[in-house]
Amino acid sequence: MTKFVRLHSIEHGIRQAFAILGDRGVEAVLEDLLGIKRSASLIRKCGDPDNETNHIQHRYSVALDVGCVRAGHRPPLLEAHQSMIRRLSAGAVATTRGFDLLSAVLLLQRGVGHLAQAVLDARGPLRGHDRRLTNRETHELFEAVVDIERQTERLKQLLTHEPPLAPRVEMKGTVSGRA
């Protein structure tokens, strides 16, 4: 049976690393970067939220993140650490009252409706499907997608009890802000 793992936790990061690298990839990155042989099952035990005896060593988590970055993905354990630091340093206990969650879902649905309307306006039955989008149409579609991303991030914050995210540094060195 699948166990519940809190989003943005160390355990969740370990599961993401396994999803990206697989058992052999996890073993290979530990041997390649640290020069040690550890079985995938040992590292997987560290991702079990009910296992109080096996905790991942910091050097293992760094190696897993490096392996994920080399595979073209974001570092899941680093993101888990950042999330924990934000949550603990803010000292905030975010409210997840049903009203807050319902409001976030409704705002997300509204954003999807705006996107659907913008697509319909640009590619509706009276418009040619093979014509290029105008600059205005492209801008409206882009703004609708950005609004959906913003509302999705808000919903994720409510679900994970986190304060709003600060601007994030992307892997290529560019800064993007999330609100």
How many domains are contained in the chain? 2
Residue 154 neighbours by CB under 8 Å, 6+ apart: 104, 107
- With contact defined as beta carbons under 8 Å apart, do 164 and 179 qualify? yes
Last residue of a domain, one of 71, 90, 109: 90
Tokens 């939220």: give the residue. 49
State the DSSP string of the chain: -PPP--TTSHHHHHHHHHHHHHHHHHHHHHHHHHS----HHHHHHHT-TT-SS----HHHHHHHHHHHHHTTS--HHHHHHHHHHHHHHHT------HHHHHHHHHHHHHHHHHHHHHHHHHH-TTS-TTSPPPHHHHHHHHHHHHHHHHHHHHHHHHHHT-PPPPPEE-TTS-EE---
Extract long-range pairs of 96-99: CB within 8 Å, 24+ residues apart: 96/158, 96/159, 96/161
Angle subtended by helix axes 10-34 and 58-70, to nearest 10: 80
Task: Indicate whether 62 and 23 sit together in one domain.
Answer: yes
Whether 38 is covered by a domain: the verdict is: yes
Instruction: Tell me, yes or no, whether 107 and 68 share the same domain.
Output: no
Q: Is residue 75 part of a domain?
A: yes
Record the pTM: 0.51
Residue pair 68/21 in contact (Cβ under 8 Å)? The answer is yes
Within this chain, do residues 31 and 55 fall inside the same structural domain, yes or no? yes
Higher pLDDT, 109 or 125: 109
Domain of 18 in residue numbering reads as 10-90
Distance in angstroms (rounded) separating the CA atoms of residues 140 and 119: 9
pLDDT tens digits along 56-103: 999 999 999 999 999 999 999 998 888 888 777 765 444 444 557 777
Last residue of a domain, one of 57, 90, 123: 90
The per-residue pLDDT for range 131-143, each reduced to its tens digit, is: 778 888 888 888 8
pLDDT value, residue 133: 81
**Of 52, 29, 26, which is closest to residue 40 (Cα–Cα)?**
26
Asked whether residue 86 falls in the same domain as residue 109, the answer is no
Q: Which of 47, 73, 90 is the last residue of a domain?
A: 90
Residue 150 has pLDDT above 80, yes or no: yes
Q: Is residue 175 part of a domain?
A: no
Asked if 81 and 115 sit in the same domain, the reply is: no
